[in-house]
Structure formats: C-alpha cells, structure tokens
Structure 1
C-alpha cells in the first residue's frame, strides 16, 4: 500500500511540474539548482530556498504535500548572475514529507523536507532581558521603549497595555510606542507583551509606572513652568530631573551632558561620576592616557538611557607619542574586555555619545617597534608562538579588536557573528549606524556595527527580523561577508577541497573567491570545514589578508 501511495505521489508531482502554467513565455530555465536552509522543520517555521537559474529569468517555486496538493506557491526573478532566493513559511497543519520544486516544465530541481508531526509552534516569546522605559514625558503623552523579546522561531509583534486596557489597535513591529491622550500629573502603568506567527502571546512582559508632567503653577499673566531647570554641578554628583537633564562634571577631569528625557521615569535620580582608585586590568598593548571613571545613575553603573548622552574625559597628551590617537574605551565587564568607542578630540579632552553607563577611560594602542625579522612582537602572553600572531597584532594595533583583562587574546576561542561584524566594520572604517535593523539586535552591544554592516550590504540576517548576533559564525558565513565587503569579482571556479560537498550552495562562490584571492585557506588535510565555527585567530587573519 505504501508503494502505491508513493507511486501516486510521484505521478502527481510529475504532472504538476510539467503542466503548471509558465510564468513567462520568454523565460527558459536551464541547469536550475535548489538548496534549502533546513530540511527538518516545524509547521509555521520559515525556510529559505535558494539556488541558480538562467540569468534574469522568473523562477516559480511550489511546495507539495504527500497527497500531491500545492500548499505553497511563490515566484521570484533571478539576478544578473542567475542567483535567486525565496523565503516561505511552512503552513500550519502541514506534516510528513514535503517536496519543494523550483522551476517549470522539464527544467526543475526539487528537494524534500520533513515536518515533525505534532510539533506546531505552541511556545510564546520570552523576555530574557526584559526592560520597559519611558521618555519624552509631557503633560499629555510619553514614549515607551523596550528591549526585544525572544522566540523559538521569531517575534512578529508587540501589544501595549495601559493598565488592563489594550491601547494598540494592531500589533507593533517595532520596539517603541508614543502614548497620547493622558492627563497631567497622573500615574499610569503600562505593560508590553510579545507574540509570534502562530498566535502565541507572552504573559510576563515588562511593565512600568510613569507619572506625567504636572500642570504649570502660578496665576495671572505669567505662570510657572512644568519643566524643571537643567542642573549643573562640578562636584561629580547631582540629582537630575528627567524632563530637565543637566551637566555633571568632576572638576575638569570628566563630565556627562544629559539632555532632557534621556533619563527614564519622572523622579529625580542621582547622577554620579567617580574616579576609580582600584582599576580594572588594562590589556597588553594599550596605555592609559588618564584615569578610569565609573558613571552611575541611581546607584546603577550599567544604567541605560532613553536617548544618547555625551561623556567627556580629559587626557594627558604627554603620556603618549604625538603619532598615537587617543580614544575613549568602555569596559565590557560581561566579556572582560575594553571596547574602542573612538571620540571627538578638542584640546586635551575627548567626547563620545553613549546610551548606557559603565566604566570609561582614555587609552592609546601601543605600536611596538618591529623586530629585525620584520615581524610584530606578540602583544599578548598567549600568542607569542601562535601562527596568527602577526595578524592579531596588526588588527589590535588598528583598534579593531582587543584582548582580555588578564593579558591574553584567546586566539582559539570561537567568535560570534556580532563580534566578527564589529571587527570587520572597524577594519573597513565604516561609520557605525544608529537605529534598529533586526529585532534581536535592538538592545545588543553591537547593534550599531551590525546596522553598518547591513547598510553597506555586507551582512544579512537569517530573515528580515533575526540576525543571530550571539550565534558563533561559521567559516562559510565569514567568507560571504568578506567577499561582500570587498566587492570582489565573481568567479566560475569552484573551491577544490576534500569536503567541498559540505559547502552550502549560497556560500560556494564566496569561498571560491576568498580562496582564489588568498584571503582564506584550507587546512593541511585539504579540508575547508565550511560549517565549522571560526576562531578569533582565523577571523583576524582573513581580515588582515584583505588589508594587505
């Protein structure tokens, strides 16, 4: 009986591929190929189908179930190189074996995928880093912003509640909302919930209670103002009202300028600048050009603002050579490293805009004199005899990547997609872009670097809303980003490695280009390990290679 069903399915599939009306009489598809981003899926999950066809031709795509019914149909046009890509969603209720068919007539390619029975999406989004903030508070309105929720597939929208009343007519795709129609001097409680494509909604979203600005006081012709005066202090601390802001400095050593509504809530908070006497370790290869300062709001040294504030630090110009450029670095205590923020220099001060507080310092990257061999000396204690020590020193010297507080670089540790994007953007000297590009990068430390990479056509996400910033980057993903960054000419050559069959279709050409241009190399056993995770040493090496 199973053989009869299978035979029937194959006959129906042949009829469908032969008898399906042609999308364009002028389009003749030859040597079409098809690759799927995943072959084991759940109902409601997104799948990317991609491949090559005739240049500038229409490519129809069908998904057929075991009964021979077409459950998905879409079409796209291949580009000037013949590449095409279509994203589709596995329909809810789909199960068993599905066949994906690309092309038409006698020129088709097909792949199968399996939908796990009984595994439709029933999991609502979660709030790992829940946070709801308020800003732009006036007498009648305010702006809510929140950190993105996470989902096993993808978050598709958000609902905002005022008390128990839903105030968003349709789910929001962004992570901010302007609330209007409020009353002056009144407390309001807001809550946000996240939903996915299967209709699952969270019930534990973040909430916040906000007091709107009070009505102006005073009578007669003058009247008072609902907005407090901006505070100014040179003692290193002051109570700052959110709707006023202020400028707090520690003498002439360090300062922060906080615009109105950068602080969240409505109550005054203490903003404090403290010079540290016990300082965190500075990575090898760097030199302090001043003191380390910890900035805090309300006792929180990791406070996040509703809008950017300006941090200004003074530095000692005599502590480094005139050829070296100082920059403000922030301490990422989670990763145990210092991040280069750059900055604008004016005299002996340097300023930079930030959206959260931590520890900050002015440093310079030390460039040691080259040895007689022409090789750069090891800047970290764990790379002296490492095969990538020259490349590591080169990118560290450029300020593209840094080491760890214990004086190590950890060259064989894996590197994430966000970290690689940040190093690549710095190496290319691209300006970081503000604004959210992907739903899962909204509150991420590398969001501006990822946005810059995406804006310059270097990096794409898994889909329109998901970049996977903390996923470990694979070697073939790294190759694609490098080739896009350099805009290298396409090649008809193919990479010839013992494991070339493991190279994903979408990455084959990029790996061939990277290898032919000397940017990437295989391993001694003639493998390329395309789906293996890249190490920090491998990442800096491919970037150093294209900078030669």
Structure 2
C-alpha cells in the first residue's frame, strides 16, 4: 500500500513539473501560417511554400535549416538559394520559396523571446504531381545538373555548369520555375493539323536565356502512337494560338512515352506534346500508298518540312506553278531548291538558328528574311553548305543529287575515301553511269562529288535511279525532287536517331 501511494505521488509530482515547464515555454509562438493556412494537414501542389511565424515579441526565429531571424537585425540569414525572407514587424517573420522535397516534409520552427524558447514542428506534403497550377521552382540552376519535376513528367537536363544569361551577361537571378498550366486534353486550339497529348507546361526564367545547351524531356499520353508523328511545340501563349509557335520536333522514346528536345538560348515559353493528324486526307498529292507518304508525313510532323503550296508563309523559295492549299508540292516535276534543302537539314539536325542582320551571301540577304535567312546562314557557319563562285548561294536554284550527297556527307560526318581509283571502282560497279564524270547531261558523277556520293551510298542514305534497260544510274547532275529530298532527310534522321 505504501509503495502504491509513493508511485502515485511520484507520478503526480512529475505531471505537475511537466505542466509547469510547458506553461513556462508556451505562448512564444502565437501562430504559424503555411501559404496563408493555419490549419493542418498541410499539402502543397508546389515544391515551395510561404511560411509566416508570429511571436509574442521580437526575438530569434529559426525556420528549418533555411532561414534564421536574429533579434534586432533587419537582415535574416538565408542559407538556401532562391529563398527570400523578411520581417514586416517585430512579431512577424515571413519566409518565401521555402523548398520542399517530394513526399512528406518535417519542418522544425524554433523561437526564442526574452530567454524563453519554444519549438513547433510542421508536416507539409508535396505530392509532386502534374496537377493544374502546380509549380516546381529551382532557386539557382548553377547548382543543378538535372531538374526532375512532377514525378518525372517533365525533366530539364541542364548538364554541368549551365547558367542563365541576360543581354549577354551573367544574369543576377539564376532561378527558374516550371508550371503546369493546362490539363485540358485534347485542345480545340492546337496548332493546325495537330492534337495535344500532354499537359501544357510553362518554363519561366524571368526573361533570361540559357548559357549552354540543355535538353527537355516531356511525357505524353497515347499508347501506340507513331513516334514519327509526335512532336513538341513551344508557344508564347498557353493556348498555342500564336503565329510564332515553333515546332521543335524531338526524339521519341516509345517505351517510356517521352519526347526529348534540345534547348539552347531561349527557354521561356509554353511547351506541350502534340501528334500530327495530317495525311492523305489533307493533301491530294500525298497518297497513303505512295513511297514518300511516310517520310513526308514524319518531316511535316517534326516541323522539318512545310508544304510548298500557296498558303501564306509556306513558299518563300520561288517555286512556281505549285497547287493550292490541298497540295503539299510533291509532283515529279517540282525539284527542291538549294535554299529549302539548307533550311530542312538545319531543322532536321536541330541546330539553333543564328540570328543575322546581314547574310554571308548577297542574294540571300536581298531575297529571304527571318528564319529562312537565318537557317541558310546557320548551315553555312556549320560547314554544311558553300556558296557559288560568284559569291552568291543560289538559294532559288535547284539542288542536284550530287550536291545533296555532299551536304549529307558533311552533316553526318561520313568518312570520305580519298583514293580516287578505289572510289571509281565501287561507283562503276554500283551505277551504270558511275564511270561518267561529266554531269552536263544529268547523268554521271562529278569528280569533286564522287567521294561524298560513295560515302552516302555505302551508309544507305542515297541510292540510284532506275533507267532504261533495267539498269540503275546515280544521275548526279539531275535535280533532286522534294519527295526524294524528304526520303533522304528522313533516312538521315532515322540513322542519327533524331526522330
């Protein structure tokens, strides 16, 4: 009986002491708000939150391992890039952009006022899901190599040492945010001929540009969709209704259902994955059973090749006699010109356009503008094309088959055989006109082009043309048709894994 009474007394004393201690420390922190909410449980659709801490009087306040407010100081100690903090009054501390990890986050808040301390713990859940309105912020991209947002639905691979630039100088703000803007699929306001198959994401770097190349990977819906018809668009508007929308193409991983595009320079904008629905039902000269149907459809979907019809903006190349908006421009008599082929190969390779005010070639400078002029300049500066002896490029002249072979060999960096006799021996065996080095009649292969033709032939990029008697000629001096150009570029993109 005595022992039982002693135990009870001991427990009572302990309870009294506990209550006394609790009373002494209670009340230092009067309230805490998470994104304006004072009632747990806290769930945030974004990976950063705003925390407001209210105390009875001025004192030291520590919010996680991120910010420390020091009594009497107006400048809090911030230990994480991108976080901002302020003390609007002696009893209020505010932390903006407090970072969260995916899942459950435990945040310890400690306040000390007049020698009395109090600690409270918050639990905030960040699902990291691509819900509409969700934001994934990065405080400083120079500390990141890869940003994986919304459970991997969008990934920005920055590489090592990337940074943001503002008007040619290192930007003072190296932060970046990715937002989910729209989940309404499919979109009635998709680019003409396309249907949206992903959420719309916005990337916002406050108007800055990337200092080094990066890659963007976006997941899409649509099991079984043909990779050749899937592409990524970037727009200045979330509804993709702007005439400046850019078809960025992209490499499709059918198993993971992702599209990866290169990014360089401009990064701000709205991104979404689309699938092309353009085909035989849209163009009378694109029959579904035609040998060029698949290459042309794929190049159109990836933004590499445009129709050469009379629709505005589709025919800056000087083509005459092409049909109306119901034709793509694929007749056997419509040969591709040098300017369009240069434009197509730059788009196919995903080379960033060089913005020029004056072109290297006088005829390009006076005859073309915008992305068309920039593409030719980009091809020239990357060593893919060369001008004519008179200094012009001849952008509106037709491209010959051997000229196309030379450009493809440069673009794909094929190894050229320099032994003239070895080159001649193979070409004479492969083509009926392989021994002919005079292309004035359209047949044969010029001396300067023979190594490139051989390299492209061996790589499977280009073959011969059936001629009379069942033989196969290369016809290096003949013009390349737009349909043949589409097939050639499509093969190149397949072999280089650019689709």
When the two structures are superposed, what TM-score results if normalisation uses the length of structure 2? 0.38
When the two structures are superposed, what TM-score results if normalisation uses the length of structure 1? 0.34
Bigger radius of gyration, 1 or 2?
2
